[in-house]
Chain A
Amino acid sequence: MPNIKHLEDICTQVRRDILRQVHKVNSGHPGGSLGCTEFFVALYNEIMDRKDTFDMDGIGEDLFFLSNGHISPVYYSVLARAGYFPVEELNTFRLIDSRLQGHPTTHEGLPGVRIASGSLGQGMSVAIGAAQAKKLNNDDKLVYSLHGDGELQEGQNWEAIMYAAGKKVDNLISTVDLNGQQIDGATDDVLPMGDIKAKFEAFGWTVLEIEDGNNLEAVLSGMAKAKAETGKGKPVCVLLKTVMGNGVDFMMHTHAWHGKAPNDEQLAEGLAQNPETLGDY
């Protein structure tokens, strides 16, 4: 059984890391990052069967691809806290000469990152390719990916969704962060996407829902169920309902903090709501 208290401590620390990263450079994307904290912490500390060291090919281990690259603050924090690079490097987020670019990239050789993302809608195709390579290599490990709900408005996703089902890419678990928000407002106001679950199912995917994507135990059990659905001839989609800005009360339930950094007072308030657990970088 996973130690929930320990994972919660990591989540709290990751939330601090997110706030401090974006505050320092007065830019970046805290809202979606905070909303996906529990997912990332569960994935990297419990769900994925991964190696401690990083190599690009990742043969014999589970792989993860972040498609909505703007939530880099949570990705970087979780990668650092998982040991891929020193946590002190979080100090360099978005600064010149840093490996922690505004959006994740392989270009500066940051361990843990296998593809650049930021221009939306491209990650699922890449994850499918990596999953196909695993099959060719007789590698029975899995490929995970994460996508924003607004990101599903990009057409390439639907090419990928059609392909993955049609070609039975059943070693792939693609999670959609259903926070209902995008830059210009609620997804239902910007471009209503209808029943996303029915859409994935109609394309031939197995779909699971995690109703409270900010509850660690719900995420852990939901992802375990998703894992059990792999290898059955269908790709697996997890619809993860989260609250944007989760864990910092004034950032929650709004798109306002999609791409905006807190000021000094707001940072202090956010950090007070998330007391230090593992130690700040």
Chain B
Amino acid sequence: MKTYTYTEKKDTRSGFGAGLTELGRTNPNVVALCADLIGSLKMNDFIKENPERFFQIGIAEANMMGIAAGLTIGGKIPFTGTFANFSTGRVYDQIRQSIAYSGKNVKICASHAGLTLGEDGATHQILEDIGMMKMLPGMTVINPCDYNQTKAATIAIAEHQGPVYLRFGRPSVPIFTPENQKFEIGKAIKFTEGNDVTIVATGHLVWEALEASKALHEQGITAEVINIHTIKPLDDAAILESVAKTGCIVTAEEHNILGGLGESVARVLATNNPVPQEFVGTNDTFGESGTPAQLMEKYGLNSAAIISKAKKVMSRK
């Protein structure tokens, strides 16, 4: 079985910052906006190199989304930066009307998504953002899994015409995907081959899925781990091809199971090849304060949870 290791940990938001800095050097139409969270979003280098292409909006996210929409009229490619909570729920109607329905080429870049924001607690830990964003017609939804993938995704979305929601996080997590990879929007990545169970994961849960597959392998179970970085458009073919072989699937995400990746996968299965599915995600709940590791354990979002769900779903075959 192919195994994955890492030598370094970094936060995915720094991958975003690095990608944005590179875009600043290569694409003169890229502009950035921030609602008073430059440091948290790692936008400092872009701003230092391109002060004229940066817009500090202040604590006014609704205005930021509207200004971003307006900047596209004139050929700019705006990247907005704030926490995931303030990038989605707080400004849903602005995104819906001024960006999505208007078909504007805005890249909504959202950090501190999910429980791993940690100690700040539930007011800031959004677990509903994927659901809100994937429901918007024309919106692309991406949740990369490590620093390198986030950097590559940031660069790739500048070339994509249309609104994008790019979701990343705060904590340092293992870097296990290649440096300078080519990021293909909507294309799933198969990390391990397996015959017994498919594990589809996104964001921070991808590393946990790989850890789970390692442990399962030691117990004689081969798991096929697929990284769905693009939740919309979903790579239906990759999912169906895998479950045709394994006959069951676990979905894993740092998000409410209501409205998340798992529900999108369930739709694909229900309409094509119904097989047993189990969900790793938060279950219709808010988060709370705590360290990221404590929270991921308490809410069942780690490799142990994936292992348990994998065994359960295999028993339902």
Contacts and interface: CB of A to CB of B under 8 A. Distances in A.
A57 B74 contact: yes
A220 B61 CA distance: 36
Contacts of B73: 56-58, 63, 114-115, 126, 129-130, 133
A168 B31 CA distance: 18
A125 interface: yes
Given A129-B68, A129-B70, A163-B60, A115 B75 contact: no
B66 A126 contact: yes
A117 B72 CA distance: 16
Given A56-B73, A163-B58, A128 B66 contact: yes
B67 A116 contact: no
Contact of A122 (B57, B97, B103): B97
Contacts of B103: 106-107
B49 to A, nearest CB: 16
A129 B75 contact: no
Interface stretch (A154-162, A226-234, A265-273): A154-162
A207 interface: no
A59 B64 CA distance: 22
Nearest to A126: B70
B248 to A, nearest CB: 41
A158 to B, nearest CB: 9
A128 B97 contact: no
A125 B101 contact: no
B74 A125 contact: no
Interface stretch (A9-17, A134-142, A245-253): A134-142
Interface residues of B, number: 32
B289 interface: no
Contacts of A117: 97
Contacts of A156: 62-63, 66, 94
Given A105-B101, A115-B98, A159 B63 contact: yes
A71 interface: no
Interface string B16-59: 00000000000000010000000000000000000011010110
Contacts of A122: 62, 66, 93-94, 97-98
Contacts of B98: 115-116, 122, 125-126
B66 A124 contact: yes
A66 interface: no
Q: Which residue of A59, A118, A130, A167 has the most chain B CB atoms within 10 A of its CB atom?
A: A130
A221 interface: no
Contacts of B70: 65, 115, 125-133
A119 interface: yes
A211 B65 CA distance: 34
Nearest to A121: B62
A123 B52 CA distance: 24
Nearest to A163: B63
Given A130-B74, A133-B70, 17 more contacts: A57-B74, A58-B73, A59-B75, A116-B98, A119-B97, A122-B62, A122-B66, A123-B66, A125-B63, A125-B70, A128-B67, A129-B73, A130-B71, A133-B73, A133-B76, A134-B74, A136-B52
Interface of A: 56-59, 63, 65, 105-107, 114-119, 122-134, 136-137, 139, 155-156, 159-160, 162-163, 166-167
Interface of B: 31, 52-53, 55, 57-58, 60, 62-76, 78, 93-94, 96-98, 101-104
